[in-house]
Structure 1
Amino acid sequence: MRWLSDLAGSLRTSFGIGRATISSASLTAARTVTLPDRSIAIGDPWEFVPIGVPFGLWSHLAGVDIPPTDNPNYRYIKLTASDSYNDGVLTSESISGSAPHVQATAVISDTGSPLNGVTVQLVNTGRWLLRPGQSGVVELDALQHHVHESQLGSNDSSGANPTKSPGFTAFKTNRAVTGIAGANLGTFALALTGSPVVDGAATLARTATATRDKSIGADYYMRIR
């Protein structure tokens, strides 16, 4: 198997090591590269995921693999509070708030990890959406400020026309309001005109405790060592 020999040579050149042994029982078996300080299974994808990259898995599907917890070459965490997957590598878990405003964090406790002592957001428990930019900065849900106009009309006996007025400001006056009919000349009352503005088919709004997009869940993991 020429490619195995070429790979061994590349490892010696790239890492400056004196020897690199590659073993394979068969073409379908997992290939193993033996370095002076470790053995790497070439067929093991979890060896090659960068540290600190959160990624989602559809773990509800049968046959989907999750990173093992017993490999000495790497360790992952599941970004979920109170999960046995994280035994021995997360400490000081903190959960506050109530749905949908849950905040969940934990501290990485693994002396072999460059992230040892770092606080991480447990995004599965907090149900966070990951956005581009400002890494680690939390933004709570919000709606952009906006206002609506009211369609109002006057039945002033002098013949004032219906007027659209934000905040009723056009109807501030010193005249006395004597009743709905506006009984005397120079007195008037305000009345709603027309129908409220609605959004057609979406009048029966889908409501919930938070503003959200259509979505589907995945369990997020992250390599720490």
Structure 2
Amino acid sequence: MVVRLPVVSLIRHGETEWSKEEKHTSITEVELTSHGITQARDLSRFVFENQCQGFIDPNNITQIYVSPRKRAQQTLELIKVPNKDQIPTFTDPNLTEWNYGDYEGVTTHEIHSEKYVFWDLWRDGCPNGETIQHVATRCDHMIAKIVAHQNKHIDSNPNSPGGDVLVVAHSHLLRVMACRWLNMAPEMGKNYILDTAGLCVLGYDRSMRSPVIKHWNVTSNLFQKT
């Protein structure tokens, strides 16, 4: 019997004024811009409300996790998942963006020109903030919860729809999570760009012992350009 394998959909929040200006944003509460709202609504329309797309089947989502930050919460509110009010939804602090410490609200250009010309987030972390290992540990905790949910679903409902998980969070955090999903070093996340309101889909190849990335950085721009 072929067992249906679940997927994990990752969404980065829509644009904010700070993300637009490329400022490092972790614990600071900033709301979506009007463009960020449009981005989230368009992603919902082109993927979650579109039965003709082949990225995911939103009807299979049986658990949702979201960062406590307002920009992620707003984005989730704008994504129209079928029967969302009936799906267990958890706000998890492990999904908070990388703590940038002294570099909160500062751009990489400013850091290079005013503080430390050779600074690299993925190698150096942030003064009075987190190292990449701190972030990876949080991602590992999240992945353990997700896989436990999916294993439970498969054990209880083999080859049936469901068991998919939706995660709404932040760029650097989700890039690290993708690496940890693949059992790769978290530093490799520097090679994965994730735009605002971008969708990524994690899954498995033939068995849950073989994690893969099925889609990466799917945005509404892909559907709108001619």
Q: TM-score, normalised by structure 1?
A: 0.18
Structure whose alpha-carbon radius of gyration is higher: 1
> Higher helix proportion, which one?
2
Relative contact order, higher structure (CA 8 A, sep 6+): 2
